[in-house]
Amino acid sequence: MSGDPAPMTYREAMRQAIREALLRDERVFLMGEDVGRYGGCYAVSKGLLDEFGPARIRDTPLSESAFVGAGIGAAVNGMRPIVEIMTVNFSLLALDQILNNAATLLHMSGGQFPVPLVIRMATGAGRQVAAQHSHSLEGWYAHIPGIKILAPATVEDARCMLWPALEDPNPVLIFEHALLYNSEGEAPAEGHTVDISRARLRREGRDVSLFAYGGTLAKTLQAAEALATDGIEAEVVDLRVLRPLDTAAILASVAKTRRAVVVDEGWRSGGISAEISARITEGCFYELDAPVARVCTREVPIPYPKHLEDAALPQVPAIIAAAREVVGNRG
């Protein structure tokens, strides 16, 4: 690692990661809606056009299918594109390209055509921008073989996940929760990476395992602190990689605490929380002292009014209540 950890925002960490990748490899370029002159919809790419020019910071037409397809073509031909989609809801306009092309080409070509493509997009709710800009669909994408799904929740992961993603021969989708961009933390100045196949233990505990990722991690850590005042020591595992799930880390935590709560901003029905619950049941059923609990977004399109949006999303009191309930069911 070069340089001591430095304080920065999540937004600045993403910008530094992109800038370092552009400096490190001339094949890397950024493309998407408003990434150039506007500086990115969330100001992540602000200043990069002036430094690297329009050949490497490319504004695109408002057509997700077109510019994601162009990114796939560039990756197949040896480039290392970073494609930015404004919000996860709009990524559905490029789902054909992602599922039927990016995720399948390496397999269908017998390994001849890797697709080293990174697609970044904002995800999550809490900003009062209503249903077409607020959903958390990363669990949908985690269903697809042939791609990797990352959900950095910390400034360090925002800073350090991009380069290993660019080195991967498979497409990597990075979901950045929009409420995290202004969050602050420390990250290495340059040259540091993290393992993009492993979960991360954020808090050790003995009574219950709390699993979270992305925008739910901070709420889950707050819940764990509150639980500690009641004598309940919660272990918090940051999943951070939704495909491939780090099943070993999940099972190891549950084997220790014998109880589990999964916190997910996605919907409960058919979501990633259901997959995690199933893996716990399959892998350590006889270690469980209580059923696996889930705290998920309500089964509604994300509302616009603030009080309804808050009511729809996983919140700290609900996480605390779920943890207390499973701890109360002692074996």
CATH level 3 topology of 200-328: Rossmann fold (3.40.50)
Q: Which of 133, 177, 190, 235 is the catalytic position?
A: 133
64 is catalytic: yes
The pLDDT value given to residue 3? 59
> pLDDT at residue 4 above 90?
no
What are the extents of the domains in the chain?
Answer: 6-187, 200-328
Identify any residues that bridge with 55 across adjacent strands, giving them in sequence order. none
d(CA 117, CA 81): 6
What lies within 8 Å, CB to CB, of 216 at 6+ separation is: 153, 263, 264, 265, 314
Note the pLDDT tens digit of each residue in 133-192: 999 999 999 999 999 999 999 999 999 999 999 999 999 999 999 999 999 999 887 778
Res 312: pLDDT:
96
DSSP, collapsed to helix, strand or coil, labels residue 145 as coil
Would you say residue 241 has pLDDT above 90? yes
**The tokens 């990250």 sit on which residue?**
187
CB 104 within 8 A of CB 156: no
Please tell me the chain's helix, strand, coil percentages from 3-state DSSP, rounded to the nearest 5. Answer: 40, 20, 35
What is the topology classification, in CATH, of domain 6-187?
A: Rossmann fold (3.40.50)
216 has a pLDDT exceeding 60: yes
pLDDT per residue over 13-51, tens digit each?
999 999 999 999 999 999 999 999 999 999 999 999 999
Active site residue 192: no
Strand order in the sheet with 28-32: 57-59, 28-32, 80-87, 118-123, 172-177, 148-150, 241-243
Q: How large is the angle between the packed helices 316-328 and 217-228, nearest 10 degrees?
A: 50
- Catalytic member of 12, 20, 33, 64: 64
Is it the case that residue 223 has pLDDT exceeding 80?
A: yes
Q: How far apart are CA 223 and CA 81, in angstroms?
A: 39
Please give the pLDDT value at position 331: 42
Domains 6-187 and 200-328 share a fold: yes
pLDDT attached to residue 329: 54
